[in-house]
Amino acid sequence: MNNSIIKNDKKIAFAIALKYNQLKRESLENLEVKQFVNYLFKFKWKKEAPENISAAVVEIMQAKAEHIVTYLSNDAVVESKHKNLSDYKDLFRQEVAK
């Protein structure tokens, strides 16, 4: 099944919302919907999309927090390769003038 068909299906959107809220409530309180959707489409279904809506819903509901954290960690490393140190200046403590 085509990823664009899956993305626009209301049943898939409902399953994503249910699982997202469960993950957020139980273990990943800072998870954003976009991160969860990216995990599904850019990682889990990157090479092979589910055969049908039922298979997609099953895969969504079986998503595990530890797999999402691994994906997000790897994604952060890849994204950091395209940034400069100055992009992280807000993380560094400023010296207070005396």
pLDDT tens digit string along 52-78?
999 999 999 999 999 999 999 988 888
Mean pLDDT of the chain: 86
Higher pLDDT, 46 or 80: 46
Cα 34 from Cα 66, distance rounded (Å): 17
Which of 90, 15, 95 shows the shortest CA–CA distance to 50? 15
Is the full-model pTM beyond 0.85?
no
Q: Yes or no: say if 17 and 46 are a contact pair by the CB < 8 Å rule.
A: no
Q: Yes or no: say if 90 and 48 are a contact pair by the CB < 8 Å rule.
A: no
Q: Which residues contact 74 (CB under 8 A, 6 or more apart)?
A: none
Confidence tier at 80 by pLDDT (50, 70, 90): confident
Answer whether residue 12 shows pLDDT above 80: yes
Cα 40 from Cα 68, distance rounded (Å): 9
